[in-house]
Structure 1
Amino acid sequence: MNDGGLPAVLITAFAERPLQGNGAAVVALARPASSGWMQAVAAQLRQSETAFLLPLEGLLPEAEAAGDWALRWFTPSCEVPLCGHATLASALALGHWGLLQPGGTTRLHSRSGPLLVSLSPAAAGCAQLVLPSAGLEPSPLSVELGPLLGMTPLRSWRSALGYGVALLPPEFDLPSLDGEALAGQLPGELRQGLVLMQALGDSADAPALQGLKADYQLRFLAPGLGINEDPVTGSAHALVAPWWCDLLGRDRVVGWQPSPRGGGMVCDRLSSGMIRLSGSGQLLWDGRLSAGVDAAEPVDWSCCLPGPA
């Protein structure tokens, strides 16, 4: 894997068509790389996130690895503990490289624990991933948010992920929001992540995914993570999907993200409390990364080691 460079792809995740959705680069490592090297690669590739996959036997004896993978995510400016779209892209990349078969399942061990991913047995380019949901705690957000939006949110919450969440009235024009401009004006406590969401109700214009009409839509801003606006955000949907499930009285909801690139996912609440996200991805480019891993830098992937059974 080293002689000709490292396999690398760019996949637009949660995208029904090419050039929609959220771009994620995925790099397959042959051995553990340092945080500094991975951050430098992510800064050069300049996607919302770049995912780095390492066969788990690179960290554990093969008998304990069971064919699983270690996974880490980097924005252009920092490492993040959870990323949904780059996890979907990682599953699709493994399928593209012939390392995960249609209908197959594997675990990706991350800072947020083991994440189960699978490829659709029938639909090419479709995958599922199971993410934790951090839970929402009712909380007032910055008093500056209402004036910035020109409208007071109906309700607001905070979460363990560090995201603020605001429910907006149906009359607010969320698709027309200038996310880039708003991101630059957010107060400090909202810069790590702000979810702006609203119900779609019976709107005839609600988009459909996998034959199902979207129930809600959201926009996600995170200038503190180096991402003014994330086009489609799996972690944000996993966070708010349980609230929408409770509101609508069912365990499946469909979320849409009307950002300039747009995309969405089907969200299923599992009995474990985890959220299964189903979505499509599109391969944009396929190549090899020539920048060799710097063996002189210290390496620590202990964050991805499985915990006690």
Structure 2
Amino acid sequence: MEIKIYQVDAFANHVFGGNPAAIIPLERWLPDDLMQKIAAENNLSETAYIIKEIDKYLIRWFTPAVEVDLCGHATLAAAHVIFSHEGFEDNLISFYSPRSGVLEVERENDGLLTLDFPKDTIRQIEISKEIAAGFSIAPIEMWKGGSDYIFVYEKEEQILEMEVDLFELAKVDTRGFIITAPGEAVDFVSRWFGPRVGVDEDPVTGSAHTSLTPLWAEKLNKDKLTAVQQSKRSGKLSCKIVGERVKISGNAVTYMIGSISI
């Protein structure tokens, strides 16, 4: 059996930037264990599987270790594949995730792709030394979202210089950890770590910005924000609060088109 596969750099306008994702179009779902094995073999932070229906695309996301509820960069990458390689002519794609519901991606006039995702519900909690034990610098605030813990810091420099103990992070029962601070050239910066789900550090995490955008929108008293996720590859995002939704915009570029032999 031959299966088509694309590899796309999301939240980037050039290859070797942003966050790479594998996108695999299917006619029907493969067995779950096989989809997980393919994701592990790809060894990218996310592999997304999509199925075209009459009025929408079904989508599921797998890290090398588990299936996850939501992934921004792989959804952006999937939209790029559909727009650029799968013959889709409209400017709005409707995805449906069994775990996260309806997700839309719009192609803007300037070439940006804009995700329309549900806004995360976040709450401030008491700082826990045990939960924050994996980070070399103590946060000034601690928040909890639907999937991740969020640690707030005073300066961008602290985010860049942070030393991380992945063994300690893996002890905590959570999808991931976000560290964030005000940015020097953008509204806020962040990094994301998820060793428990097989992703030590993600280069650019779209879904994390469903938590970060409402947090910084309230702190900065603005509904349109610019962001950079700091990593070796890095990525820039434009974020906007629209009611109970978050719109997250970025570019994507194709790195590879190939096939899987099973």
Give the equivalent residue in structure 1 for 2:154. Answer: 169
Query: What is the Cα deviation at residue 97 of structure 1?
Result: 1.7
Asked whether the 8 Å contact 1:264–1:279 carries over to 2, the reply is yes
Give the equivalent residue in structure 2 for 1:15. Answer: 12
Correspondence for 1:96 among 80, 84, 109: 84
Q: Secondary structure at the match of 1:18?
A: coil
Q: Which runs of 5+ in 1 are unaligned?
A: 57-64, 207-213, 292-309
Distance 2:129 2:204 in 1: 26
Query: 1:192-242 CA distances to partner (integer Å, 9 max, x unpaired)?
Result: 210000002xx3xx2xxxxxxx21000100101000101100011111101
Q: Does 1:137 align with 2:123?
A: yes
Distance 2:52 2:170 in 1: 40
Give the equivalent residue in structure 2 for 1:301. Answer: none
Letter paired with 1:183? L
> RMSD across aligned C-alpha pairs, in angstroms?
1.9
Question: 1:246-261 counterparts in 2 under 5 A?
Answer: 246-261=218-233
Give the equivalent residue in structure 1 for 2:94. Answer: 107
Asked whether the 8 Å contact 2:114–2:250 carries over to 1, the reply is yes
Correspondence for 1:222 among 181, 190, 194: 194
Distance 2:110 2:120 in 1: 31
Instruction: Give 4+ residue runs of structure 1 displaced > 6 Å after superposition.
Output: none
TM-score, length of structure 1 as denominator length: 0.79
Paired residues, what number?
261
Change (3 A) 1:30 1:84: same
Higher percent of residues as strand: 2
Change (3 A) 1:258 1:33: same
Change (3 A) 1:165 1:286: same
Q: Which runs of 5+ in 2 are unaligned?
A: none
Q: Secondary structure at the match of 1:142?
A: coil
Change (3 A) 1:23 1:171: closer
Distance 1:173 1:215 in 2: 15
Query: What is the Cα deviation at residue 98 of structure 1?
Result: 3.4
Give the equivalent residue in structure 2 for 1:152. Answer: 138
Query: What is the Cα deviation at residue 190 of structure 1?
Result: 5.8
Query: What is the Cα deviation at residue 275 of structure 1?
Result: 0.3
TM-score, length of structure 2 as denominator length: 0.93
Give the equivalent residue in structure 2 for 1:45. Answer: 42
Letter paired with 1:84? G
Distance 2:110 2:169 in 1: 43
